[in-house]
Amino acid sequence: MTAEAIIAELEALPPSERFKVLSHFDAQADDSWVPESFKRSMDEASAGKLVDMESVLRGDAPPK
């Protein structure tokens, strides 16, 4: 089966079924090239654990 044939079949699917197929492959995306330190930093940023650099340079106490 060619890529064009697969794409045509995907386009013929109802939106909910297409979403299932595409999210299956997106969930299996290889992110091994992303450094673990970057992943941790992104998790910390998502959790709101950011400090303004200017306040750190001024010597302000870190937020609690």
DSSP, residue by residue, 3-59: HHHHHHHHHHS-HHHHHHHHHHHHHT---TTS-HHHHHHHHHHHTT----HHHHHHT
Coil, strand or helix at 2: coil
Q: For the whole model, what pTM was predicted?
A: 0.42
Reported as a single tens digit per residue, the pLDDT across 28-51 is 667 888 899 999 999 998 998 888
N-to-C CA span, the chain: 57
On whether the CB atoms of residues 10 and 21 are closer than 8 A, the answer is yes
Reported as a single tens digit per residue, the pLDDT across 10-27 is 999 999 999 998 888 776
